Structure 1
């Protein structure tokens, strides 16, 4: 790949970023060939290929048939995905699903509809695996809209089935619609196409939810910058930020869809430091927590989606005064903002990160928030030419 950015990027000036990069490479070398060590009491989930996913699914079906033959009262053990079964693994710094399950009787009148819907999802997944095809959650819903009634019903059953066969949702070949974008110093193979993401325009490559068909070929980036909003990514892409700093830029459009978080996890496992740019509000901190530790709803997928080493570059609450953001573009806190901030401050992983805890407390004290776009009051180029370079130079991140 081109080394143009390496000639501009001053590793002495930005030595704190370079230090993280070198530490990341050493960590990758040390962990080569080693599996992630999970604590006792958590469910072990695998990212399966098509053949193994089919085998797991048939194993579950065979178990149900065996129960029918032996007792006539088949029961399916479905892992409990409620908050009471979520564990914070402090060592790996991620949220994980525990081993508690809920028993669902397949012959109970109270669960007859749920079971019928689940069996229908099993049938669809089996067909997808047999034909080696992928479908979206929306498409699955429309295969039997009269049975599922609402998409939230089929969505929940997709996740139930994934946990029952102890696999990632992608292993079932059911994917979410593409949302995230990626641009910068990276070459990939997407299906039969080889793509240079530094030549993909201002929108970049749309992260393919069928990540089993995506292969990372080459990068000379030294960090990844994830931005909350696509508008910020367009601004960075127009400035060709990766030619000034050796980086890959991703836009998750909010907290990031599954495919974006899984792809980011892949990049971080290569040793690349990851920085996050979000709005200066409690939701921005929540987005950071999802990228870092995974979400509670999808805690069983955290080993494949969480990026614990991610650093929140901004926008921090203290930045509003440090960069003299005008009062006119600062937004008053709502009751919902205060509620979310207090909920985050009660989380153990926030309490363990004093800089993060202090930033949330300052936000709550000032009762103000601001969007990334607030920097445009200081000029359209301020974000790219002043704010981000200064942040990266001084190491001012959480």
Structure 2
């Protein structure tokens, strides 16, 4: 297939020489000079379970192999059982050098003769059967579709979702390799173009709503290709963005999109509209890997819905630690809103929110997390938040005007290199 011929919305070439981007360019250079991350083996980290993208035929073959193993177990008189990787919290390992959580390779037995495990064993078998059917037909379905195939057995979608992760871990593949995905949630806008299942998408022309990040990340191609806007006669295999702006909330995303922030400060803006979903995490990881751009995070000054969300993008979630290699981004910078910003930008008291006991507990628990301990500046900000017992939303900046975020706050942050 020919490369996409894209002439993105043109921007003034002087933008790239703006002093506002000087610190960003330095950050990009530092990222590029950082070299390749070591592998787990090079770090002498063994006995961990990590998955990879697998072709449908590979996944089907592995499911068939496991079923044959179950039949053999029954014929040997050992009963109907599965060896399932344990994904408990106690089985999670934080690898400091990689700044992500991995899953120790420890198995538990799911036995049909054990009364407490009968339903889980039955659900595991059903999910494997459904996945095998999907792969044979070459189609994808949502997790909700999967649940509705047997509501009586699954009872609640959380049960089928959990077993789906178990099956991916048993097979040794990413969850997307099972052809079961979550509904579209994340959106992207800005200086990037790609093909989505063959269709050319120019994210500079997606309006205020942005382009929905498709759940089938494996069908995205030509992500890095755009036509050079400074000299249209040239073609370069690279986006002209200077950084990726990761935004927690849809409201902030819409303000950035409507103000065409990405044309004034060349960037790619994306959000999962709250808690990050798998597709958004995979998309972020992929564009960071292919474009080699720094990621700056814009979240609420809040230990749970702000900093915790940022940590999932960076270090991974414990329930999907088996796939952290394809779901985490190294060295995300915390741009804002940080606790120290409340004083620095004179956020009025009425725009600040008192922390609840649950917020305080979450904050204290996060201080014990390895990824926080690794970054003293993050710890300092979190301690400041706990001391003041105040939090604030990104929208608190609107007290100074609806466009304060895009015209004052972010430009100053970029100019000063004010991220940690």
Return the TM-score normalized by structure 1. 0.95
Residues 5 and 214 (structure 1), Cα distance of their counterparts in 2 relative to 1, 3 Å cut: farther
Distance 2:173 2:165 in 1: 10
Residues 1:277 and 2:283 aligned together:
no
Q: CA deviation at 1:35?
A: 6.5
Distance 1:366 1:6 in 2: 44
Residue in 2 that maps onto 1:304: 326
Distance 1:171 1:255 in 2: 22
Would the aligned equivalents of 2:203 and 2:211 in 1 still touch at CA under 8 Å? yes
Would the aligned equivalents of 1:9 and 1:244 in 2 still touch at CA under 8 Å? no
Residues 1:118 and 2:124 aligned together:
yes
Residue in 1 that maps onto 2:286: 266
Tell me the alpha carbon deviations over residues 215-252 of structure 1, each in whole angstroms, 9 at most, x when there is no partner. Answer: 21422111100111111111011110111111000011
Distance 1:234 1:191 in 2: 26
Which SS does the other structure have where 1:53 is aligned? helix
Would the aligned equivalents of 2:81 and 2:121 in 1 still touch at CA under 8 Å? no
Of 199, 207, 230, the residue aligned with 2:213 is 207
Would the aligned equivalents of 1:333 and 1:368 in 2 still touch at CA under 8 Å? yes
Residue in 1 that maps onto 2:378: 356
Tell me the alpha carbon deviations over residues 156-192 of structure 1, each in whole angstroms, 9 at most, x when there is no partner. Answer: 1111111111111111111011100000011111112
Residue in 1 that maps onto 2:355: 333
Q: CA deviation at 1:380?
A: 1.1
Distance 1:221 1:13 in 2: 14
Residue in 1 that maps onto 2:4: none
Of 273, 297, 316, the residue aligned with 1:294 is 316
Distance 1:375 1:301 in 2: 36
Count of aligned pairs: 395
Distance 2:194 2:39 in 1: 25
Of 5, 23, 34, the residue aligned with 2:30 is 23
Instruction: Output the aligned Cα RMSD.
Output: 1.7
Tell me the alpha carbon deviations over residues 251-308 of structure 1, each in whole angstroms, 9 at most, x when there is no partner. Answer: 1111311100000000111211001100011121111110100011111111111112
Return the TM-score normalized by structure 2. 0.90
Residue in 1 that maps onto 2:414: 392
Would the aligned equivalents of 2:110 and 2:120 in 1 still touch at CA under 8 Å? no
Residue in 1 that maps onto 2:234: none
Distance 2:365 2:69 in 1: 41
Residue in 2 that maps onto 1:42: 48
1:78-117 map, 5 Å: 78-117=84-123
Once the two structures are overlaid, the 10-residue window that deviates more, 315-324 or 303-312, is 303-312
Would the aligned equivalents of 1:252 and 1:260 in 2 still touch at CA under 8 Å? yes
Would the aligned equivalents of 1:13 and 1:393 in 2 still touch at CA under 8 Å? yes
Residues 85 and 36 (structure 1), Cα distance of their counterparts in 2 relative to 1, 3 Å cut: closer
Q: CA deviation at 1:54?
A: 1.3
Residues 1:143 and 2:149 aligned together:
yes
Distance 1:41 1:388 in 2: 44
Would the aligned equivalents of 1:5 and 1:242 in 2 still touch at CA under 8 Å? no
Would the aligned equivalents of 2:241 and 2:266 in 1 still touch at CA under 8 Å? yes
Residues 1:345 and 2:367 aligned together:
yes
Q: CA deviation at 1:11?
A: 5.0
Of 335, 338, 342, the residue aligned with 1:316 is 338
Residue in 2 that maps onto 1:187: 193
Would the aligned equivalents of 1:5 and 1:246 in 2 still touch at CA under 8 Å? no
Distance 2:124 2:97 in 1: 35
The unaligned stretches of length 5 or more in structure 2 are 1-6, 226-238
The unaligned stretches of length 5 or more in structure 1 are none
Distance 1:262 1:173 in 2: 15
Distance 1:89 1:11 in 2: 38
Distance 2:50 2:254 in 1: 39
Once the two structures are overlaid, the 10-residue window that deviates more, 59-68 or 139-148, is 59-68
